[in-house]
Each structure stands twice: as C-alpha cells, then as structure tokens.
Amino acid sequence: MSQKVGGGKPQRYVQPSLLMALKAGPSYGYQLIQTIADYGFMRDEAPPGMIYRHLRQMDEEGLVSSSWDAEGDGPAKRVYSVTAEGLEILEAWILHMERQRDRLDAFIRRYRES
C-alpha cells in the first residue's frame, strides 16, 4: 500500500484519548501512555514528552486537574483527573468523530455502489 494512503496525524487524537482514559478515573502519566495506546490512534507507544506536554497544557486550560501523590514506594507521581469542562470537550470530540465517521461511511458507500 502506498505511504500516501492513510497519512493523517495520529497525534491530533491525543487530547480526546487522554480525556477518555481519565473519564474512567484518575491516573498518572505512565499509565495514561499505556492506556491510550489501546485506542489505536498511535502506531507505537506515544512519546512521553508529547503526552506530558498535552497534560500540562490541558491542566492550564482547565480540562484536567492534577495533584501530587506521594503515597507508596518511589518518587511522588502527578495524578491527573478530568474536569467537568474536560468532559464537555470530550463530548465535542465524540460528536466531531461521529460526523467524520458518517462522511467516511457515505464516501465508502458511494464507492461500493459505483
């Protein structure tokens, strides 16, 4: 298959992936990296630096909140939780994805019928 097919930028789905993962409950960066890999938008495991940049920006924008967890062994970990505003943004992403899916389905149907 041509390298030109399906090019897209999978990192555009990092934000909704993180919000979806946090919808299930609070988590920290490393867990989130592993969780969002299961969603299938990234070809490989997401680069940690990119994920932490997104989390920091989302924290600044009020989509997630974070706090330090110093419990247990090892260094303290920053734990992230989705906010009400983050859930609203996730809903907007879902609506966008549904519209995209509908357009793709219509395109495929048109191809198959011709």
For residue range 86-100, what is the model confidence (pLDDT) as tens digits? 999 999 999 999 999
**Read out DSSP for 90-106?**
HHHHHHHHHHHHHHHHH
Mean pLDDT along residues 56-63: 97
Q: Which domains does the chain have, with CATH numbers?
A: 10-113 (1.10.10.10)
Cα(56)–Cα(84) distance, integer angstroms: 17
pLDDT at 76: 87
Mean pLDDT along residues 36-63: 91
Q: Exposed (0-12), middle (13-18) or buried (19+): which is 39, by Cβ within 10 Å?
A: middle
Cα(30)–Cα(17) distance, integer angstroms: 14
Mean pLDDT along residues 4-23: 80
Task: Retrieve residue 91's tokens.
Answer: 């809903």
Segment among 1-15, 21-35, 44-58, 59-73 with least mean pLDDT: 1-15
**40 C-beta neighbours (distance < 10 Å), count:** 10
pLDDT at 3: 46
